[in-house]
Amino acid sequence: MSILKVARIAHPVLRSPAKAVPKEAFRDRLFQKLIDDMRVTMYEYEGVGLAAPQVHEGLRLAVIEVPGSEERARAEVPFMVLVNPVVTPIGDERENGWEGCLSVPDMRGVVPRLKRVKLEALDRHGKPYSLEAQDFFARVVQHECDHLDGHVYLDRMADMRSLTFIKEFEDHVHHDEE
Ligand SMILES: [Zn+2]
């Protein structure tokens, strides 16, 4: 497995809509390796999700894994693969929350996201699944699926004044919220 180079904003691959993964791909050794490489790349940079365009592959593919955290009120999400995902709102309730992105290094910003969504996708073997995601999991799903359409979280921020560097976030913002 290899740790992949992560594209940073201004690289065109992050602004181009990704292409659907074709059926033949699931039996392709290189496609399966790409998933494994995205997994270790996500771990290496301590992300909770990674989309294929972020590693210079214009495919509708993303991986997600969220370690549970009581302190941050995050439910655990075991490693999962999203191929050709479709996200549908459940209700219209939105919630503000902090987001960061491996393609926008060292920054955080507050982004309003739907609190609940339905996710329909294929797993790494091409098997369809469907689930309901809420809270932080729903946020990660929306963030990663946005990458497949050429969007980053900065585009979704309602107020750019919350944009902060991580160091300043730790120094000034994080403490205020506790
Ligand atoms: Zn991102």
CA distance 117 to 142: 8
**pLDDT for res 71:** 86
Q: What is the pLDDT along the chain (178 residues), one digit of tens a residue?
A: 899 999 999 999 999 999 999 999 999 999 999 999 999 999 999 999 999 999 999 999 999 999 998 888 899 999 999 999 999 999 999 999 999 999 999 999 999 999 999 999 999 999 999 999 999 999 999 999 999 999 999 999 999 999 999 999 988 887 655 4
Q: Which residue among the candidates 144, 168, 177, 178 is catalytic per the annotation?
A: 144
- Side-by-side strand order, sheet with 77-89: 49-51, 61-66, 77-89, 116-122, 128-134
What is residue 14's three-state secondary structure?
helix
Phi, psi of 160 (to 5 degrees): -65, -10
Verify whether residue 144 is a known catalytic residue.
Answer: yes
Q: Which residues surround ligand 1, an ion (CB under 5 A)?
A: 101
Residue type, 172: H
**Could you tell me the distance, in angstroms and rounded to a whole number, from the CA of residue 54 to the centre of ligand 1?**
7
Residue of 54, 72, 154 lying closest to 109 (CA atoms): 154
Contact 111, 156 (CB under 8 A): yes
**pLDDT for res 177:** 58
**Could you tell me the distance, in angstroms and rounded to a whole number, from the CA of residue 41 to the centre of ligand 1?**
13
CA distance 178 to 165: 19
**Could you tell me the distance, in angstroms and rounded to a whole number, from the CA of residue 87 to the centre of ligand 1?**
16
**Could you tell me the distance, in angstroms and rounded to a whole number, from the CA of residue 52 to the centre of ligand 1?**
10
**pLDDT for res 178:** 46
